[in-house]
Structure 1
Amino acid sequence: MKTQIDDYDMTNSVFNVRPGLSSEEALVNASELLASASVMANEQAFASSGSQRLQTFGLAQLIENAQLLVNDALRKTPPAAI
């Protein structure tokens, strides 16, 4: 029986996570991506009006919530040994 990772066909993915990537590195990168997405969503919301503005602010809030969770997990992750 194949493992869950083996079942995933990597050839169908455009981007892959580097093998051996530590949890700390993954969380740091996720935090940076979420920070960028938050800035883009907020800028788009301020440039919009009506229901599009409200939807974009809602999206920005979801991104910020995810960023808080990632940052909390990062704080709880012991530093990687060098």
Structure 2
Amino acid sequence: MKTQIDDDDMTNSVFNVRPGLSSEEALVNASELLASASAMANEQAFSSSGSQRLQTFGLAQLIGSAHLLVNDALKKTSPVSFDLNT
């Protein structure tokens, strides 16, 4: 058990990004996370009704927009190896 707290341990986040993670790896993971979030939001929207359905579709649209931005950044970072069909 640690008895002394390092400055690096003084974060408010429970999870940390692996040191040395490349921009390409980070973007690929972000793209995959956004694709999963989009699928969940759309699934929930289709099973909802009324204003909840509209709000969930709005959330899915925001996620989709973020996904497009991440994929564009990934294409610019690694245009040769970019091959996500999303």
TM-score range, shorter chain: 0.7 to 0.9
Say what the alpha-carbon RMSD is for the aligned residues: 1.8
Displacement, 1:78? 3.2
The TM-score with structure 1 as length reference comes to 0.82
Partner of 2:25: 25
Shift of the alpha carbon at 1:13?
Answer: 1.7
How many matched pairs?
A: 73
In structure 2, distance between residues paired with 1:7 and 1:21: 16
Gaps of 5+ in 2: 1-6, 80-86
With the length of structure 2 as denominator, give the TM-score of the two structures. 0.78
Deviations, residues 35-67 of structure 1 (Å, cap 9, x unaligned): 000000000000000000000000000000000
Unaligned runs of 5+ in 1: 1-5
The structure carrying a bigger helix percent of its residues is 1
